[in-house]
Amino acid sequence: MTQQQQTEQQRRDRWNTPEMQAYRREVREATFTKEGMMVAFPTCFPGMTTPIVPDESRITALDVTPLGVVFGGTSGYRTHLFAAEFHGIMGIVFDLGVVEGGAECVAVCCGKTTLAAFVNGPKGGRAIQVPLTRMDSDLIQEWGFQRPAFKDLGECASGEPVVHAVCDPALDLVIGATTRHVFKLALTTGKIEITGEAPTRGRLARTSAGGIVGRDSERTLWHFDFRTSTFRRGAFALPEGQWKHALSWARDPRSRTLYTGDAAGWLYSFDEAAGFSKPLGQVPVAPVGPMAVTLDGRVFGFCGEEMARLFCLDPQKKEVTALGGAASVIERRRYGYVFGDAVTGRDGEIVFGENDNGGHVWLYFPRIQPRPESPNA
C-alpha cells in the first residue's frame, strides 16, 4: 500500500468512527429546527398578489385577535401594515397599506374594533388607528378586500420616538412608552394622554393582574394600574442578574404569567403577587429575543443576534432546549436569521415576524408532548 493510500485509509477510518458519526448526525439533525415544524409564509396571497417589497418588509410588530387574525407592521424604507389569516381555507397576508412618513413600526395593538399602530419617522413617534379588517372570504370563489382608511392620531409625546405599547383589549385602552414618557391611548376616542415620565428601554408587558410594566432603570420596573389610573416608578425590583439591555417579554395566555430574560440569557417568570422567580434556565446564546407561550405553558423564542437560534423553555421542568435555526421546507426552502416579534396563534402555534429584507410571517407548530406512560403498561 502506497503512502497516499495509507493516508486515504486513515482519513476514512477517522470519518467512520462512532464519535465522528455522532458529530455528523448532530450537525445534520440539530442545526435547523430539530423539533416541530416551521412554515415561512410570504407577505401576500401566493399566486395572486405580490409580496411587500424587500426593503419595506422587515416585520417588527405583531398582535393577534381572539379569532386568530394576525395584524402586523413593518420597518424599512417605508412602513406597511398588514393582516394575516391562516386557518380553515384561508392563507393570506393582506397589505393594508403604507403609513406615510413612517420608517419603523414598534407596536401593533388590537382592540375591540380597531387597532393602533405605533410608527416612528421624521414626524416623531405617532399613533395610527385602523379598523380591524374582516378576513371572512373563502378565497376560493371571486374575492376582494378593501384597504381601510388610516387615521393619524398624532405624536404620542412631542419630539420623542415610541419605544413600545401594549393593549388591554377588554378596556380598549393602550399604554405605551416613548424614550422619556409613558402615555395612554383610548381607542374609543383616539385621545392620547401622558400618564408619567420614565426613561423606558425595551418592550412593555401586561401583567397577571392586568397592569402594565416597563423597564424603569437597571434594577426596577415601573407599573401602570388600569383600575386606578395610577403610574408608579420603581414598583418592582428586578432579580439579581445583568439587566442593562432592552427587555423582551412573553405572556402565558392561560395563567397570564410573564417571562423575560436578562442580558446573559437567564430566563425568569414574573407575577405581580409573587414577583420574579429564581432562574428557570439559560438560553444557548444571549440575548433573549422575541418569544411567546403556547397553550400547554411552554415558551418558544429566538436568542442570539444576526443568526438567531430557536429555544424552548419548559417552566415546569425548568429546562431549556436548543432547537436550532429557523428553516422552512414547505413549498420552497427558506432560512430565517433575525426576528422582530412573536405572538401566540389561535390554536397554540407561535407566529414570528421576520425582521429581514423580504421578511416572511413564520408559523411554528411545536412538537406535541408525548402522553405519560401508564404505570400499568
For residue 374, being part of any structural domain is answered with no
Provide the grid cell at 371: 402522553
Residue 191 CB partners (closer than 8 Å, separation 6+): 185
For residue 136, being part of any structural domain is answered with yes
For residue 26, being part of any structural domain is answered with no
The domain containing residue 304 runs over which residues? 33-365
Overall number of domains in the chain = 1
Would you state the pLDDT for residue 47? 83
Would you state the pLDDT for residue 139? 58
For residue 206, being part of any structural domain is answered with yes
For residue 343, being part of any structural domain is answered with yes
Size of the chain, expressed as the number of residues it contains: 377
| CA distance readout (Å), 181 to 153, 185, 216 | 17, 13, 11
Would you state the pLDDT for residue 1? 63
Would you state the pLDDT for residue 162? 98
Taking residue 272's Cβ as centre, other Cβ atoms within 10 Å add up to 17
Measure the CA–CA gap between 281 and 349, rounded to whole angstroms: 22
Tell me 357's DSSP state: T
Amino acid identity, position 129: Q
Would you state the pLDDT for residue 222? 96
Tell me: the pLDDT tens digits for 252-295?
Answer: 999 999 999 999 999 999 998 889 999 999 999 999 999 999 99
Place of cell 415620565: 197
For residue 7, being part of any structural domain is answered with no
Place of cell 403556547: 294
Tell me: the pLDDT tens digits for 358-375?
Answer: 999 999 999 998 887 766
Would you state the pLDDT for residue 206? 97
Beta bridge partners, 271, equal 275
Q: Which residues of the chain have pLDDT under 50?
A: none
Q: Is 249 exposed, middle or buried (0-12, 13-18, 19+ CB in 10 A)?
A: buried
For residue 166, being part of any structural domain is answered with yes
Provide the grid cell at 102: 413612517
CATH number at 70 reads 2.130.10.10
Sheet containing 350-354: order of strands? 37-41, 361-365, 350-354, 339-344
For residue 145, being part of any structural domain is answered with yes
* 186 touches 172 (CB < 8 A): yes
